[in-house]
Structure 1
Amino acid sequence: MAENDDVNDDALARGESRGDRARRSQAAREADRKAKAAAKLRENLMRRKGQARARRAGEADDTQGLPASTPSAAKSDESS
C-alpha cells in the first residue's frame, strides 16, 4: 500500500489529479481497443486476399464459419 501512496504522491507533485490519471487511463484503453480493431481488420483483409488469390488459381476456399451441412437461410424457388 505504501508503494501506491508513493505513486499518488508523485502524481500530485507533478500537478496531476485523480481525474487526470483516469482520463489518461481511459485514453490508453481506447488506444488499445483501436489497435486491436486495426489488427482484426488487417487479419480479415489478409484472409480475403488469400481467398481471392485462391479463386483466381482455381482452388477451393478454406471454410471458416458455418459447416456445409447447415441448411441455407435463403428460401428456394419452391417455397412461398
Structure 2
Amino acid sequence: MERKTGTPKSPAPARDQRLKAALKANLARRKAQAQARGQGKGAPQSSEKDT
C-alpha cells in the first residue's frame, strides 16, 4: 500500500491552531453577548418568584 504524501505527518499543530481559533471566536462571542445583556459582574439575575 502506498502512503499519501499530501497529508502532514503530525496533525497536532494544525489541530492546535484550529482549537485556538475556535476558542478565541467563542470567547469573543460570549463577551459580545454579555455586553449586549448589560450583565454586571457578580450580579444575580432577578427571577419573578414572590412567595
| Distance in 2 (alpha carbons) for counterparts of 1:32 and 1:61 | 35
Tell me by how many angstroms 1:54 deviates.
1.1
Calculate the aligned-residue CA RMSD, in Å: 2.6
Tell me by how many angstroms 1:25 deviates.
2.0
Gaps of 5+ in 1: 1-5, 64-80
| Distance in 2 (alpha carbons) for counterparts of 1:62 and 1:45 | 17
- Structure that is richer in helix per residue: 1
Cα gap change, 1:43 to 1:62, in 2 (>3 Å): farther
In our comparison, the structure showing a higher alpha carbon Rg is: 1
Q: What is the match of residue 25 of structure 1?
A: 9
| 1:53 pairs with one of 17, 36, 39 | 36
SS of aligned partner of 1:45: helix
| 1:37 pairs with one of 13, 16, 20 | 20
TM-score by length of 2: 0.57
Give aligned-pair identity as a percent: 10
Gaps of 5+ in 2: 43-51
Larger RCO (CA within 8 A; separation ≥ 6): 1
Residue identity matched to 1:40: L
Q: What is the match of residue 71 of structure 1?
A: none
